[in-house]
Amino acid sequence: MAFENEKMETMPVNELREYQLKMMKSVAKKVYENNAFYRRRFKEEGIKPDDIKTVEDISKLPFTYKKDLRDNYPYGLLSVPMESIVRWHLSSGTTGKPTAVAYTRKDIDTWATLIVRAMKAAGASADDVVQNAYGYGLFTGGLGFHYGAEKLGAKVIPVSTGNTQRQIEIMKDFEVTVITCTPSYAVFLAETMEKMGIDPEKDLNLRIGFIGAEPWSKKTRERIEDMLGLRAHGGGAYDHYGLSEMCGPGVGAECTAQEGLHIWGDHFYLEVIDPETKEPVGEGEKGVMVLTNFTKDAMPLIRYWIGDITIADFEPCSCGRTHPRLPQGILGRADDMVVVRGINVFPSQVEFVLMKFPELGEAWQMIVDRKGALDSLTVEVERKENVRVDDGLANRIKNELKAYLNVKADVVIREPNTLPRYEGKAKRVIDRREFE
Ligand SMILES: [Zn+2]
């Protein structure tokens, strides 16, 4: 078992809490003294950094929302002078203003260190050849893994997204051992390999997949591990977690035990909050993930409301790491959630049900519409190639969806390769309802 920083990663929980208290005080002081937005927000809540006496006192601090980043775009959340900034990343800004995050040289190094931590936890080393198929550019995936893999000492091939056949040829020619990409792209790669007559077990050397940037199920993991030949080469597919507001990828990562994402507690403080009451949920309960940056230099965020739904486990992992874990990863986004006839439906739950049926392929989508006064939900899913499906399959899926989600859905089985494919994040929900 390799560590980036064994002392920190395996620190006894009580010592980690003490360390977190020290870091919490220091970051609260930093934003209070250096950032006008936070000084005003602290004053509105009637709190000063010195009022933090225990880690639980974090609940006295204000939340930071995505809207605050938009309203203060582009420079308003900086806590360092402009001359120390060396990079900006921007969100895509699908609606209205984008959001911007800043990095100092120290931030770039911390970020790379966290990727090294993730890579070592999954069993990667300087001997690996890393094909980085995350997008390079304003999105943090590509550059994050690039700097991290170089810091690890591995050989990096910056392929970025697209050009799938070429990617597969490169994998073969350079004996690539590590692939980084989204789960939907991993599946698309495997499907393309099959069409090209390439057998990943025999013809390729892929051992480790760093798969993330969108939620995926355990069943999808097994398929990716199998389809890309990762298990056959002694490795696996490992989830990782991040968002540009915290650093980029590197906020959390899975170890080889695959018992959930470790959220690195020496860099981030994890809270799981009830979206209604804004109070912490009980142990083992579902809520919205809220993170505080301890080590971000340019632009630390206090209690950042991420909107991802998760469940935290504070028990140490069998690998020896003591930081909090998300055993089920990300269950969905609070804003991905669709309410169908009053029931909360997460795309990840629909996928979980679909993956139980071996006759089905990976491509699927759900369409929400309104017929008269009633919502309707239709799940469209492709059958696998060379698989016969009987007339009863759609009905069995329908019953399983009803049993698991408590929602009635029409199920349509489509022919292979008829639903849209995505090289980035897959779009699973099509909401055709018109709300007044
Ligand atoms: Zn572990």
What domains, with CATH codes, occur in the chain? 338-431 (3.30.300.30)
Residue 248 φ then ψ, to 5°: 130, -160
Give the distance (Å) from ligand 1 centre to CA of residue 411. Answer: 38
Query: pLDDT at residue 276 above 80?
Result: no
Contact assessment for residue 156 and residue 149, using Cβ atoms and an 8 Å cutoff: yes
Give the distance (Å) from ligand 1 centre to CA of residue 308. Answer: 21
More confident residue, 104 or 355: 104
Strand partners, 157: 131
Give this prediction's pTM. 0.81
- What does the alpha-carbon distance between residue 214 and residue 240 come to, in Å, rounded to a whole number? 10
Query: pLDDT at residue 93 above 70?
Result: no
Give the distance (Å) from ligand 1 centre to CA of residue 112. Answer: 20
What's the pLDDT at 96? 62
Best CA proximity match to 264, nearest among 272, 252, 274 = 252
Confidence of residue 372 (pLDDT cuts 50, 70, 90): confident
Give the distance (Å) from ligand 1 centre to CA of residue 322. Answer: 8
- What does the alpha-carbon distance between residue 357 and residue 304 come to, in Å, rounded to a whole number? 38
Give the distance (Å) from ligand 1 centre to CA of residue 22. Answer: 25
Q: Is the peptide bond before 74 cis (omega within 30 degrees of 0)?
A: yes
For the chain, give the mean pLDDT: 93
- What does the alpha-carbon distance between residue 263 and residue 251 come to, in Å, rounded to a whole number? 6
- What does the alpha-carbon distance between residue 235 and residue 186 come to, in Å, rounded to a whole number? 15
Give the distance (Å) from ligand 1 centre to CA of residue 258. Answer: 7
Length of the chain (residues): 436
Query: pLDDT at residue 95 above 70?
Result: no
- What does the alpha-carbon distance between residue 264 and residue 9 come to, in Å, rounded to a whole number? 8
| Mean pLDDT confidence for 273-284 | 89
Give the distance (Å) from ligand 1 centre to CA of residue 352. Answer: 23
Query: pLDDT at residue 201 above 90?
Result: yes
| Mean pLDDT confidence for 183-194 | 94
More confident residue, 171 or 344: 171
- What does the alpha-carbon distance between residue 268 and residue 295 come to, in Å, rounded to a whole number? 8
Q: Is 60 helix (H, G, I), strand (E, B) or coil?
A: helix
Q: Which amino acid is at 418?
A: T
Residue 416 φ then ψ, to 5°: -55, 145
Give the distance (Å) from ligand 1 centre to CA of residue 342. Answer: 37
What's the pLDDT at 436? 46
What's the pLDDT at 140? 94
Query: pLDDT at residue 91 above 90?
Result: no
- What does the alpha-carbon distance between residue 369 and residue 363 come to, in Å, rounded to a whole number? 20
| Mean pLDDT confidence for 32-48 | 97
- What does the alpha-carbon distance between residue 129 and residue 148 come to, in Å, rounded to a whole number? 13
Non-local CB neighbours of 389 within 8 Å, separated by 6+ positions: 359, 383, 413
Alpha-carbon distance values, 257 to 217, 262, 265, 278 (Å): 16, 11, 19, 33
- What does the alpha-carbon distance between residue 278 and residue 273 come to, in Å, rounded to a whole number? 6
